[in-house]
Copies of this chain bind each other. A is one copy, B any other.
Amino acid sequence: MATMAEVAREAGVSVATVSRLLNNQETVSPETANRVFAAIEKLHYEPNLLARNLRKNESRVILIVSPNVTNPYYAHILSGIGDVATKLGYSALIYNTEDDKSREREALEMLRKHRADGAILMASNTNSGWLLEYSHEFPLVQCSEYDPQVDIPHVSIDNYQATKEAMEYLIELGHRQIAIISSENDYISTRLRLQAYRDTLTQHSIACSENYIINASRDYSFKSGKSKAKELLKVEPRPTAIFCISDTLALGAITAAKELGFSVPDDVTVVGFDDVEHTTMFHPYITTVAQPCYDLGKQSAYLLCSLMRQETQIPRQTILDHKLIVRESSASPKVG
């Protein structure tokens, strides 16, 4: 808690010299430098960031706006952002919104208050026009979810292509009665996955039955996955495969199948999405589309830093690789 003035006095120099030493290492003689370092050591001096940041008019803080850190998917992204932030000399401030738009706004006001220099938004839905006014004033990056209509840089995977690959895998296995558990939320990922589901079926001349399309809760809860799967498994003809837009939903579907006396994958194939820890620990190990959560966070942080450094040539869209991971919950349908 010593101040720079105290260090200066202790070392017999002026504050300017101390400051120079700590910032632009230029032009300080070795001997004075040593005296100053000794003083710093002796007094346990650490620069007061409040003062430094005020002077420099920056906070060196990255704001992370997430609906809920408790969700492992977001937690992994958060982890990626945090690591990059630390590495680049920033701190990671987290703001939970519980999916509440007013809290999201509240979070962004932190930028105007100079509490943070830029923000990474997770889970913006596809109605984010209001974000534009902020993005004109402050560095903003959308991670994983984004609004295609809105011109804010974002990092994501190719949800359409990823879903297409999963669907083609199912079709190749021989499935024709493929259902989907989507969600009633308004994320771009949801929309694209559903679209790819429909398109892929059509492209393979498979009729796309509305009975096979069902929406789970906004937050992909296990519970709703389970109850929606039960509905699907009662549809005639019974689907031989269920594509779920999240692993939690897929686990719900597997549980539902078991409770109804069906075996996975013998009676019904279940495929998930995300591949986050803790959801892939159980038999049958789940076939899923893996997202690089940690890297999504990392790239978002790098992108934001570019933005904050006012670099030109910022890509509007960064797409990371997904990967279909085949495990135990999928198989060819039984004949007959």
Instruction: Mark A residues whose CB is within 8 Å of B.
Output: 1, 44, 46-51, 53-54, 57, 59, 61, 68-70, 72, 75-76, 78-79, 82-83, 86, 91-96, 109-110, 112-115, 137, 222, 248, 251-252, 255, 258, 277-279, 281-283
Name the B residues within 8 Å of A248 (CB-CB). Answer: 278, 281
Complex Cα gap A57–B170 (Å): 61
A185 to chain B, nearest CB (A): 19
Are A112 and B44 interface neighbours, CB within 8 A?
A: yes
Assembled-state Cα–Cα distance A59/B251 (Å): 44
CB–CB B281/A251 < 8 A: yes
Contacts of A110 in B (CB 8 A): 91
Given the known interface contacts A72-B278, A258-B283, the answer about A94 and B96 at a Cβ–Cβ threshold of 8 Å is no
The reply to whether B1 and A282 contact each other, CB–CB distance below 8 Å, is: no
The reply to whether B112 and A1 form a contact with Cβ atoms under 8 Å apart is yes
| The residue from B48, B95, B114, B277 contacting A49, defined by CB atoms under 8 A apart | B114
Are A70 and B76 in contact (CB-based, < 8 A)? Answer: yes
Other A-B contacts than A48-B113, A91-B95, A92-B94, 12 sampled, CB-CB below 8 A, are A49-B59, A50-B53, A70-B72, A70-B79, A72-B72, A72-B75, A78-B94, A82-B94, A82-B96, A86-B95, A91-B93, A252-B281
Q: How far is the CA of A278 from the CA of B92 in the complex (A)?
A: 26
A133 CB to nearest B CB, Å: 10
Out of B49, B54, B59, B255, which one reaches A282, CB within 8 Å? B255
Determine whether the beta carbon of B54 is less than 8 Å from that of A51: yes
A54 to B50, CA, bound (A): 5
Contact call A75/B69, Cβ cutoff below 8 A: yes
- Known pairs A54-B54, A113-B49; A255 contacts B278 (CB<8 A): no
B109 and A46: CB pair below 8 A?
yes
A86→B78 contact, CB < 8 A: no
Evaluate whether A115 and B72 lie within 8 angstroms (CB atoms) in the complex, with A1-B137, A93-B91, A258-B283 already known.
no
